[in-house]
């Protein structure tokens, strides 16, 4: 059992999901990971989870336009 994966934020799982399902470009994925990482560091996992979900949802809406 490799516990490194235990520390992967749900945000990144969501990103990989969006990448597969929505075919987002690599550039946007990298931007999201950078932004998400910064948010995680500043706010901590519990709060950042909510922000990540909102952020991903907003971005999803932007791409759908």
Identify whether 62 is part of a domain: yes
Identify whether 4 is part of a domain: no
Residue 5, pLDDT > 50, answer no
Query: Residue 63 is part of which domain span?
Result: 26-65
Residue 16, pLDDT > 60, answer yes
Identify whether 41 is part of a domain: yes
Mean pLDDT of 47-61: 63
Identify whether 21 is part of a domain: no
Exposure pattern of 41-52 as b/e (b: 16+ CB <10 Å)? eeeeeeebbebb
Identify whether 45 is part of a domain: yes
Structure-token match 């969501």, residue found: 14
Quote the number of domains for the chain: 1
Identify whether 10 is part of a domain: no
């Amino acid at each position: 059992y490799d516990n490194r994966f235990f520390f992967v934020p749900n945000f990144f799982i969501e990103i990989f999901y969006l990448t597969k399902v929505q075919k987002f470009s690599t550039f946007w994925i990298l931007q999201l990971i950078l932004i998400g990482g910064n948010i995680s560091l500043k706010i901590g996992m519990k709060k950042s989870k909510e922000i990540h979900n909102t952020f991903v949802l907003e971005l999803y809406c932007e791409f759908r336009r």
